[in-house]
A and B are shown apart, each in its own frame.
Chain A
Amino acid sequence: MNVFLYAFAGYVVLGTVIALMAMKGLKTQEEYYIAGRRVSGVVSALTYAATTYSAFMMVGLVGLSYAGGVGALGFELFYLVGTLLLLSYYAPKVWEMAREKGYITPGDMIAERYGREVAVVMSLLASVALIPYISAQLIGVGLILDKTSAMSFSYGIAASAILIALWAFLGGLRGVAWTDAVQGVFMLLMATAAIFWVHNNGFAEKDFFAEVTRLGELLVVPNSFWTPLKFISLTLPWFFFALTNPQVFQRLYIPKDRTSLRRMVVLFGFFGLVYTVIVTLIGLELRTMTEMGTFPRVGDRDAVTPTLLSLMPPVLGAAVSLSIFAAAITTANSIVLTLSSMISRDLFGSERVGTGRLLIVLLTLAVTFFAYSRPNYIVELSVLSSTILLAQLPLILGVFHFKGGAKFTGISTLIAGFATAIILSFAKLSPLGIPASIWTFIVSFTVFFAASRFDR
């Protein structure tokens, strides 16, 4: 048995014990989906961070920094300051409204303002956006485990699917939050260990700040990789991630009091800053080492992390691989749990916890099916997820800033935004040279304001 499998066995046992401990008293949807609104600030922050930061960080962002340079840090930090800005303003309002009116899903807020039918459409839109996104995460993790000989692709997908369903099924949000908290700390520790290893191997006798100048234009923006338009088109959907992604929006309901809510936002900010700096630094150091001739030149940016893992000592490589696996699981089971709450409550109108548990199993099966079958459109859809979810933004901001608009406004905004994102992306169209995410933003807001004039 390889080192990874020993670590993996310990991880499974620990996570399952935590999920079992969280099972007590999960009789209502409020308990099951938002942990009875009694989560501490620290656990809220760690589950928020672990849900937000997926396997994309240690795989995609390392590769993006390696291939495109410092713009990757800017892209990710624009997201972080956007999130802090939005949460410091909206989080207290959302938390208070949720508490007063008994919201459990993000759709509850939308249903009250625009009508139940709009929440139904929103739950369908979120499913279309997020199911392929989770599948793509599993495919990515499966490929990494396979490439590093930790586990075969098929076993990697199966193990991921079982853990996603099991921990959410058993412990609901409390189980997911507690396991997220442990895994979030582990993710940060392993990223720190990875940067120390990379730095010691590449720059023990060299000055990184002197050597990094070899990267030339990769150290400035814009450059040949990060054009201004590319930067804006990728950053715009992420800037509003905190409001448009239901799995993080629902986490605004869970802190036990205002102090915990504030602590959640601030601690998440520190986690995000440290994690982002470490991950992008790994990418830049590896690229500098490539230019120095001490790390292989990697053409496919998604292969940078697997190459790094294959060069690490087995124990460290296994631990970092496990942290990437954990990052995928924490994001995936949070999304599955939130989608199950939206589909059971908003779509089917069910008040039963059992419906949600059944949906967790069905959603996980759907995710697994997509991951195994790997249809071509799955990658396009997963990349598109944040752009599709941008269609909800006018409705969410409208709750706080705009009195007009009801059912017709809500449904037409969601359909117009969704159609824009899908048509432009699949047809690979950029009218006037403007990318799909910016068009989705413009069309959604235009339709929202136009429709609200006729909709009282």
Chain B
Amino acid sequence: MKLLEGLAIIAAMSVPFFAIKSHDMSVYLYWTAVTTAYLIYITIKRW
């Protein structure tokens, strides 16, 4: 389960290398949003 979570977060963080190519702040905002979402997930979930 944790391995799956690890693969999912690495895949999500790798998206800009393949899919975001616009010359604006999209990559910056995307990475910030993914990290924020993961941090909220860590805050809420039981561990």
Contact = CB atoms under 8 A, between A and B. Distances in A.
Contacts of B21: 220
Contacts of B27: 70, 74, 219-221
Interface in A171-190: none
A84 interface: yes
Given A220-B21, A221-B27, A78 B39 contact: no
A77 B42 contact: no
Nearest to A231: B17
What size tier do the contact residues of chain B reach? 20 to 34
A273 B28 contact: no
Contact of B38 (A81, A217, A220, A277): A81
Given A92-B47, A221-B17, A212 B39 contact: no
A74 to B, nearest CB: 5
Nearest to A266: B43
Given A84-B39, A262-B47, A269-B39, A228 B32 contact: no
Given A209-B25, A269-B39, A277 B17 contact: no
Interface of chain A: mostly helix, strand, loop or mixed: helix
A74 B16 contact: yes
Nearest to B8: A85
A328 to B, nearest CB: 25
Contacts of A81: 9, 13, 34-35, 38
Contacts of A151: none
Interface in A279-323: 280, 284
B35 A77 contact: yes
A282 to B, nearest CB: 13
A77 B24 contact: no
Interface string A80-101: 1100110011001000000000
Contacts of A402: none
Contacts of B32: 73, 77, 273, 277
A228 B23 contact: no
Nearest to A268: B39
A431 interface: no
Contacts of B6: 85
A56 B25 CA distance: 24
B42 to A, nearest CB: 5
B2 to A, nearest CB: 5
Contacts of B39: 84, 266, 269-270, 273
A273 B9 CA distance: 15
Contacts of A10: none
Interface string B6-30: 1001000100110011111111100
A269 B38 CA distance: 10
Interface string A213-232: 10111011110000010010
B23 A269 contact: no
B23 A284 contact: no
14 contacts: A70-B27, A70-B28, A74-B13, A81-B38, A84-B38, A88-B45, A215-B23, A219-B22, A219-B25, A219-B27, A219-B28, A220-B21, A220-B23, A221-B27
Nearest 6 A/B pairs, CB to CB: A269-B39, A77-B35, A88-B47, A70-B27, A266-B43, A89-B2
Interface of A: 70, 73-74, 77-78, 80-81, 84-85, 88-89, 92, 209, 212-213, 215-217, 219-222, 228, 231, 262, 265-266, 269-270, 273, 277, 280, 284
Interface of B: 2, 5-6, 9, 13, 16-17, 20-28, 31-32, 34-36, 38-39, 42-43, 45, 47
